[in-house]
Structure 1
Amino acid sequence: MHKAFEEALRKAGPTDAAITADLAALPDAHWQRLFARMDGLTDADREVKWGGGGEVSPGVTQLPYPVYSDAIQEIRGLLPIAVHDWPKWIRDNPVFPEGAGLDERPVADAVRLATAYLRGERFSDGAIQQAIENGALNAIVDRLRKWTESEKLG
């Protein structure tokens, strides 16, 4: 029964064609802003500081949390996502975690990888930091750029 549920989830997720169609519907200005922000990142923008971790009242300690630069926050908001079973996808996909080989995969896998990190941040503070440090963020944006420059129709 568990395998049937997993198969149904996989089939319920968007196809490569559906994800690509969603990307094609985004205006050129969206892509220009994403690429400009990525191209303009400085080392300081990429540096992740951590807040929290201290006692906020007697016996109550706030958990540490990542503090991302405004530039990284904007890039996070510009990255496309796809609703899919990302925890299973990352277990079965060779491009996770650092995006190795992503440039030769369908652009939909860049969106799936972006989704894994963006959703992953909700459950594990620092997932975006991992993507910055291991090169996945660069690989995702590079693949999206390649698609917009040489594969996108229209």
Structure 2
Amino acid sequence: MNHPVQYVAVQAPDGEVVGYVWADYTADALQWAQRAATGADGYRLGQEWAAKVAETRERGLPVAGALTELARAAGTGPPVDVSGPEAVEDLARTVTEADDRRLLAQLDHGNAEAWQELADAYAALTDDDRDVRWGGGEKNANGAIQWPYPIYSRPLWRVVTALWGIGAVTAEHRWSASPPPVVPPSGRLRPADAVRAATYLAVGERVNEGSVDEALRSGLFDAMVAALLDRHIAHAS
């Protein structure tokens, strides 16, 4: 054994890597690392493997023997040496071209009405529509102070709602397990990243109020819509 940490990749039937079983021999630890970019099916399979790893760990097998047993179950080859747990964590954060293709496949290019709605709603936005006010902060009769919340204009929320119609909001992007999308220095989002941004904003706003406001200020909102519309035009040509 050349390194104190080894891992085994676990794949779905279609070849997608859903996560990694890894062992730290120095710490006598056996762990599961779910790949964050997996879709809904990959996540479910990953949960099965998380339970399998936990069950194997509870049986009290030596770590090396446990990893060998799980490697046979995974069928993806012998354990691979890596420099440490951080290397496995880096692998779990990897986003592949297959991940991008899976997200882009969610876009409903056949729904011309939905795409027109997005284009029209976005084109109709004014500066006033983009101006997000915040409510809350007032003290109620019980003396409690209401938590601040964003107040979005109807035209702005019309754009957000239109994202659902084109298929850009999808359970195939597990937004809560992924870092928030950011606008690259070029100012242009890749189409798959636009789907990630759409899901993060439309769904994540319910949990992290103000996400859409922040996206407007950072330029993410405009870059997202532009990338989605460009993708649709390219698909139609």
Higher strand share: 2
2:143: which partner in 1? 59
Task: Describe the superposition over 1:67-124 as per-residue Cα deviations: whole angstroms up to 9, x where unpaired.
Answer: 0000111111111212223244326xxxx3235557462x222111121223332222
Give, in angstroms, the shift of residue 36 of structure 1. Answer: 0.9
**Percent of pairs identical after alignment?**
29
Q: Normalising by structure 2, what TM-score?
A: 0.54
Residues 39-50 of structure 1 aligned to structure 2 (within 5 Å): 39-50=123-134
Higher helix share: 1
Q: Is the 8 A contact 2:109 2:235 kept in 1?
A: no
Matched, 1:98 2:183: yes
Q: Which of the numbers 28, 31, 38 marks the counterpart of 1:11?
A: 38
Residues 20-99 of structure 1 aligned to structure 2 (within 5 Å): 20-25=104-109, 27-79=111-163, 80-83=168-171, 84-90=173-179, 96-98=181-183
2:83: which partner in 1? none
2:224: which partner in 1? 140
Q: Distance in 2 between matches of 1:6 and 1:100?
A: 29
Task: Describe the superposition over 1:26-64 as per-residue Cα deviations: whole angstroms up to 9, x where unpaired.
Answer: 511111111111111100000001112101213222111
Give, in angstroms, the shift of residue 20 of structure 1. Answer: 2.4
Give the counterpart letter for 2:39 in structure 1. Answer: A
Give, in angstroms, the shift of residue 142 of structure 1. Answer: 0.4
Q: Distance in 1 between matches of 2:223 and 2:156?
A: 15
Give the counterpart letter for 1:82 in structure 2. Answer: T
Tell me the SS of whatever aligns to 1:82: coil
Relative to structure 1, the CA distance from residue 21 to residue 10 in structure 2 (aligned partners, 3 Å threshold; closer, same or farther) is closer
Aligned residues: 147
Q: Distance in 2 between matches of 1:61 and 1:52?
A: 8
Give the counterpart letter for 2:221 in structure 1. Answer: L
* Structure with higher RCO (Cα < 8 A, 6+ apart): 1
Structure possessing the higher radius of gyration over alpha carbons: 2
Relative to structure 1, the CA distance from residue 133 to residue 147 in structure 2 (aligned partners, 3 Å threshold; closer, same or farther) is same
Q: Which runs of 5+ in 1 are unaligned?
A: none
Q: Is the 8 A contact 1:90 1:116 kept in 2?
A: no
Q: Is the 8 A contact 1:100 1:139 kept in 2?
A: no
Q: Is the 8 A contact 2:189 2:224 kept in 1?
A: no
Tell me the SS of whatever aligns to 2:160: helix
Relative to structure 1, the CA distance from residue 119 to residue 100 in structure 2 (aligned partners, 3 Å threshold; closer, same or farther) is farther
Q: Distance in 1 between matches of 2:219 and 2:156?
A: 14
